[in-house]
Amino acid sequence: MELKGSSNLSTLASSNDHGENSLYFEGWKAYDNDPFHPSRNPKGVIQMGLAENQLSFELIEDWIKKNPQASICTPEGVQAFKDIANFQDYHGLPQFRNAVAKFMGRVRGGRASFDPERIVMAGGATGASELLMFCLADRGDGFLVPSPCYPAFDRDLRWRTGVQLLHVECKSGNNFQLTKQSLEDAYENARKANIKVKGLIIANPSNPLGTTMDKATFKMLVKFINDKKIHLVCDEIYSATVFRGPRLVSVSEIIEEIECDRDLIHIVYSLSKDMGLPGFRVGIVYSYNDKVVSCARKMSSFGLISSQTQYFLASMLSDEEFVGKYLSESAMKLANQHDLFTRGLEEVGIKCLESNAGLYVWMDLRPLLKEATFEGEMDLWRVIIGDVKLNVSPGSSFHCHEPGWFRVCFANMDINTMRIALGRIRKFVVQESDQVLQVKKQKRTSKRSHGLTLSFSSQMYDETCSSPRMLSPHTPLPQSPLLRART
Ligand SMILES: Cc1ncc(COP(=O)(O)O)c(C=O)c1O
């Protein structure tokens, strides 16, 4: 008998916990329906919601050309084809684990070393995070997560495992830094709600903040989990995106400096951001707990990295000269692109949280909110997507507790596209902030709501779209009222 709708699916499959209805993914859909292209669709939506590192591909392409033997599908490499195509051991190729362990140490400035025997493969950091939840928590158990946080944690950590995420509120007042009090509060709230807290997960560097955790905070946090006897999962997927000081402090260094039960410490890593290879699905679980390593290794059968990819990466990551050059040039390019973008925003009075890592900035649009609520944030976001034609991600999708913050990615586009995006933002801010100021003034004088609808004709941005040459960041622009209001 044919069942209707989703009633013939499992409870898990038909649940909403995937989080696909999040606004974070909504923005991607808007982009997919009308993607920007400089000549074919110059008025389309520019993708600024995707944390991809596309700035250093030519370095990798160059290495591939010089090392044809690293690929098993070239005349130079084909003699390895049979062995590699047959390889299916879930421990992974020894040379791959060695190369990844060495690479992880190098990315952390040689201040920590990693044991290849503890490297477990997974399908990206996505698979690695879920795998760890599977090993550490039972259905219904809670994991603390400082927020704002990576939106897809909802999917990766909860969906199939039934783990609950308990958000630890971080505030703009101290630049969203984690405090002992907020951790204690979240832990106590969970206890009152009869939720068993099994751990804490952090992303360091942070997505969406683009900041690295300072040593003092990190030590406080490790002491906290150690006292409570709960696990600490550190997602260090953005380790090599740190483009200026303060340098990255990895949990692997902290546990060398303070006493703690190492069985509680686990790292999630991936090459999706640091090497810009999300399509390769290279995820790593690195646990200091032998039992977790053993369980995770068995589980990794469900998300192995293809042996072809392992073979290729083992060769590339073992080339120390290349790795050194890649890491330094990639950081330099990220710094340049970040600075170009944030300077462009500053010219119109838009501030971002000061950051030193990541592929995005955390943009403060609070002054542009018609009202300081999440509805106000939504209204503004809809205008930015629909009329300004930029896919940026609203803070609410990162579980931010304060409305008005947006994450904007800058490393997935070339400089010309970024200039077009900046041009659109400038035009928008000039007009928008005039309207916001006007509304606020009217509200003050008449104390009457005029129900302003934040709807702008996309024609307003046509000039920007059709004349990319005008869009140098040095182009003189009318001074933004946002700037005038602030200076
Ligand atoms: C903090 C964080 N963790 C995990 C992931 C998922 O990475 P992967 O592509 O390796 O699955 C992302 C991707 O954006 C991320 O930002």
Domains of the chain: 11-56+326-486 (3.90.1150.10), 87-318 (3.40.640.10)
CA 51 / ligand 1 centre spacing (Å): 9
Name the residue of 28, 121, 126, 147 whose CB sits within 8 Å of the most ligand 1 atoms, as the mutation to test its pocket. Answer: 126
**Ligand 1, residues at Cβ distance < 6 Å:** 51, 124-126, 150, 203, 207, 235, 237, 270, 272, 278, 283
Handedness of CA 238, 240, 245, 251 (dihedral sign): positive
Distances (CA, A) of 436 to 213, 352, 454: 36, 20, 10
pLDDT at 481: 41
367 C-alpha to ligand 1 centroid (Å):
30
In whole angstroms, how far apart are CA 286 and each of 97, 122, 142, 231, 235? 11, 11, 21, 13, 10
Positions of the chain with pLDDT under 70: 1-6, 19-24, 434, 436-487
Positive or negative, the Cα torsion across 131, 134, 139, 145? negative
Rounded Cα–Cα distance for residues 198 and 274 (Å) = 29
Q: Which atom of ligand 1 is nearest to the CA of 129?
A: 4
Q: Quick one: tokens of 199? A: 């751990």
Q: Which residues pair with 145 in a beta bridge?
A: 167
Tokens 């992974």 label which residue? 92
Please identify, by atom number, the ligand 1 atom nearest to the C-alpha of residue 271: 10
Look at residue 473 in the predicted model and tell me its pLDDT: 35
Question: What's the pTM value of the predicted model, to 2 decimals?
Answer: 0.88
Q: Which residues lie across from 282 on neighbouring strands?
A: 123
Probe target for ligand 1 pocket from 272, 274, 284, 359, with the most ligand atoms within 8 Å of CB? 272
Residues that are catalytic: 150, 235, 237, 273
The pLDDT value recorded for residue 360 is 98
> 197 has which bridge partners?
142
C-alpha 202 – ligand 1 centre gap (Å): 12
Ligand 1 atom with minimal separation from the 281 CA: 10
Look at residue 446 in the predicted model and tell me its pLDDT.
60
Centre of ligand 1 to C-alpha 378, Å, is 25
CA of 128 relative to ligand 1 center, distance in Å: 10
- Residue 270: what pLDDT? 98
Tokens matching residue 465:
């779209």
Mutate to test the pocket of ligand 1, among 47, 53, 273 (most ligand atoms within 8 A of CB): 273
Ligand 1 centre distance from Cα of residue 457 (Å)? 35
| Nearest-CA residue for atom 14 of ligand 1 | 51
Q: Select from 28, 207, 398 the residue to mutate for testing ligand 1; criterion: most ligand atoms less than 8 Å from CB.
A: 207
What's the gap in Å between 388 CA and the centre of ligand 1?
27
For tokens 């035009």, name the residue. Answer: 427
| DSSP-assigned beta bridge partners for residue 174 | none
Buried residues in 234-254 as b, exposed as e (16+ CB within 10 A): bbbbbbbbbbeeeebbbbbeb
Cα 132 from Cα 302, distance rounded (Å): 13
Which pLDDT score, from 0 to 100, does residue 457 have? 34
Positions of E strands within 293-418: 351-352, 360-364, 390-391, 393-394, 405-409
Which residue's CA is the nearest one to ligand 1's atom 4? 125
Residue with CA at minimum distance from ligand 1 atom 15: 150
Q: What is the pLDDT of residue 247?
A: 96
Exposed/middle/buried for residue 325 (C-beta within 10 Å: 0-12, 13-18, 19+): middle
Task: Please give the Cα distance from 5 to 161 (Å, whole number).
Answer: 24
CA distance 69 to 349: 52
